[in-house]
Amino acid sequence: MKTTTIDLKVKYFGTPVVLISSLNPDGTPNLAPMSSAWWLGDCCMLGLGNSSQTAENIRRTGECVLNLASAELVDVVDRLEG
């Protein structure tokens, strides 16, 4: 069997998008789409850009909420772009 190595720029195809909410320093909510969230047992792994406001908020408050889209919202969430 012949194998071909493909050198992709990004070896990542994402997972279903969650909306991650956190609290800004001024008390307002921050909502960002996120595709790198997955669970191992009862632990959640987040692949989050270090310089995002969300990351800063989580470092400051130690908390966030992962919002899973309802069936009615899935189509809208799937159309979110960065």
Ligand X SMILES: Cc1cc2nc3c(=O)[nH]c(=O)nc-3n(C[C@H](O)[C@H](O)[C@H](O)COP(=O)(O)O)c2cc1C
Q: Among 19, 36, 67, 69, indicate the residue that binds ligand X (CB under 6 A).
A: 36
Kindly tell me which residue out of 19, 30, 67, 69 binds ligand X, with binding defined by CB under 6 A: 30
Left (φ > 0), alpha (ψ -120 to 50) or beta: where does 24 sit? beta
Question: Which position among 16, 25, 47, 73 is part of the footprint of ligand X (CB under 6 A)?
Answer: 47
Q: Site for ligand X (CB under 6 A): how many residues?
A: 16
Q: What is the 3-state secondary structure (H, E, C) of 10-76?
A: CCCCCCCCEEEEEECCCCCEEEEEECCEEEECCEEEECCCCCCHHHHHHHHHCCCEEEECCCCCHHH
Contact between 49 and ligand X by CB under 6 A: the answer reads: yes
- What is the pattern of x (binds ligand X, CB under 6 A) and - over residues 9-28? --------x-----------
Q: Which residues bind ligand X (CB under 6 A)?
A: 17, 30, 32-36, 47-49, 52-54, 80-82
